[in-house]
Amino acid sequence: MPHPQSMLTVGEVARRSGATVAALHHYESLGLLTPHRTAGNQRRYPRHMLRRVALIRMAAGVGIPLADIGEAMAGLPQDRAPDRAEWQRITGLWREAIDERIATLQQLRSQFVECIGCGCLSMTRCSIVNPDDRLAPATAAAAPPRRARRRG
């Protein structure tokens, strides 16, 4: 275990990283962070864990699922900060997913411009509410038959 004075409490990690204490506990429960424990069972984090937290928050912020983050981080050393090659290996795994997300967001931005003023938000026709027309078959099958209205 690193020297006790170089260790951070969970509150210090939260303040310095911008993550909540609850988020840090959640990351620990998923195996993303592995704090040391004191004799009194308090969590203590080496300073290099701040980089892990930053990577977790950045990746989650762009939509990488925590499970994928955990898989990628499983090969990182626990006793030191990862080196440049190790960071590049991890971020390289997510490059394609991030590029796909950027393309999707750019397409969505274009669709918003086209849809302003339309107001349809049809569950079967609107490409924003129902991308790729995923709901059309389910909606058509589940919809009750229409009854003719009498005028009169």
Structural domain contains residue 91: no
Q: What is the pLDDT of residues 104-128, one digit of tens each?
A: 888 888 777 666 656 666 656 666 6
Q: For the chain, how many structural domains are there in total?
A: 1
- pLDDT tens digit at each of 152 positions of the chain: 555 568 999 999 999 999 999 999 999 999 999 999 999 999 999 999 999 999 999 999 988 999 999 999 988 888 888 899 998 888 888 998 899 989 988 888 877 766 665 666 665 666 666 566 654 555 444 545 445 555 55
Structural domain contains residue 101: no
Whole domain around residue 73: which residue ranges? 4-82
Predicted confidence at residue 56, as pLDDT, reads 95
HEC profile of 35-81:
CEECCCCCEEEECCHHHHHHHHHHHHHCCCCHHHHHHHHCCCCCCCC
CATH number of the domain encompassing residue 51? 1.10.1660.10
